């Protein structure tokens, strides 16, 4: 959680750039998706730690309550969902790529939107799920939100299938079909987004209705 005086809120799906500066003037800038949405000066980020990275280990291990950060945002007006949108929405997230999609799910719930929402979340193991309790609670309480998981390394007990990567079969079974023309948002590592977007287009989705956000993994 970051308190940003004068932030003034952000749309669901936007990102920010965070700049770290070392005492000798060395700087590193990284982009992070925002997990929160709506008005207010409090911003929630979820950061995946890359052990060899130079920024994420600092954010995960070293930063303390009360530390100041320099950031720029909110950024990006393309990969966003607005409560006034009424069409069905299919969200597909890989790993920490779920973060901007969480913001959309939260915005959808907070606004009382009746647009059908569905999230397909590809994650390594059940322990790696971000915001697990919140997502499950929303899926149980809302008739307008469906939640599906794909586990790539380890599955929960009694899960009907083995772990595996997202496939054409899974996308056909667990996402809205192209026939209802949903808005589709795909976010994750570049390879994940590439393969999902290609399959979606092969399944008949209009390329322009599939919005993507890839992250390199630095």
Q: Please choose, out of 39-47, 64-72, 102-110, 175-183, the segment that lies near another protein by the rule CB under 8 A.
A: 64-72
Helix (H, G, I), strand (E, B) or coil at 53: coil
Rule CB under 8 A: say whether 65 interacts with another protein.
no
Rule CB under 8 A: say whether 63 interacts with another protein.
yes
Residue choice 116, 150, 185, 213 for contact with another protein (CB under 8 A): 213
Taking the C-alpha atoms of residue 172 and residue 51, their distance in angstroms, rounded to an integer, is 35
Q: How far is the CB of 208 from another protein (least distance, A)?
A: 8
Q: How far is the CB of 144 from another protein (least distance, A)?
A: 26
Q: How many CB atoms neighbour CB 159 within 10 A?
A: 12
- Give the number of residues written for the chain: 218
By CB under 8 A, what part of segment 106-165 binds another protein?
none
Signed CA dihedral, 150, 205, 212, 34: sign only = negative
Q: Please choose, out of 76-84, 89-97, 148-156, 175-183, the segment that lies near another protein by the rule CB under 8 A.
A: 76-84
Rule CB under 8 A: say whether 24 interacts with another protein.
yes
How many positions of this chain bind another protein (CB under 8 A)?
45
Rule CB under 8 A: say whether 46 interacts with another protein.
no
**Cα 169–174–176 angle (5° rounding)?**
110
| Biggest alpha carbon–alpha carbon distance for the chain | 57
Helix (H) or strand (E) holding 141: helix 132-141
Take residue 189 and report the two structure tokens written for it: 């590592």
Take residue 77 and report the two structure tokens written for it: 């007006």
Residue choice 5, 6, 26, 157 for contact with another protein (CB under 8 A): 26
Q: Across-strand partners of 19? A: 29, 70
Taking the C-alpha atoms of residue 109 and residue 163, their distance in angstroms, rounded to an integer, is 30
Rule CB under 8 A: say whether 84 interacts with another protein.
no
Taking the C-alpha atoms of residue 94 and residue 145, their distance in angstroms, rounded to an integer, is 18
Rule CB under 8 A: say whether 215 interacts with another protein.
yes
Rule CB under 8 A: say whether 206 interacts with another protein.
no
Nearer to another protein, 69 or 154 (CB): 69
Q: How far is the CB of 191 from another protein (least distance, A)?
A: 5
Helix (H, G, I), strand (E, B) or coil at 180: helix
Binding residues for another protein, rule: CB under 8 A, are 15-17, 19-29, 31, 52, 54, 58, 62-64, 67-70, 72-73, 75-79, 189-191, 193-194, 208, 211-216, 218
């Amino acid at each position: 959680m970051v308190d940003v005086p004068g932030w003034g809120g952000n749309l669901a799906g936007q990102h920010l750039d965070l700049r770290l500066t070392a005492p000798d003037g060395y700087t590193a800038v990284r982009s992070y998706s925002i997990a929160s949405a709506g008005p207010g000066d409090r911003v929630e980020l979820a950061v995946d730690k890359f052990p060899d990275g130079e920024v994420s280990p600092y954010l995960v291990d070293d930063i303390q309550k009360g530390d100041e950060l320099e950031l720029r945002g909110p950024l990006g007006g393309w990969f966003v969902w607005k409560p006034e949108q009424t069409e069905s929405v299919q969200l597909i997230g890989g790993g920490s790529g779920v973060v901007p999609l969480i913001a959309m799910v939260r915005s959808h719930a907070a606004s009382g939107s009746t647009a059908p929402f569905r999230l397909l979340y590809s994650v390594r193991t059940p322990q790696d799920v971000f915001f697990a309790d919140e997502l499950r609670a929303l899926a149980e309480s809302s008739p307008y939100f469906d939640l599906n998981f794909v586990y790539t390394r380890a599955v929960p007990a009694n899960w009907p299938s083995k772990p595996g990567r997202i496939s054409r079969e899974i996308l056909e079974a667990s996402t809205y079909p192209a026939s209802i023309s949903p808005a589709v948002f795909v976010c994750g590592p570049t390879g994940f987004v590439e393969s999902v977007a290609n399959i979606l287009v092969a399944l008949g989705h209009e390329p322009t209705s599939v919005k993507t956000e890839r992250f390199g993994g630095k």
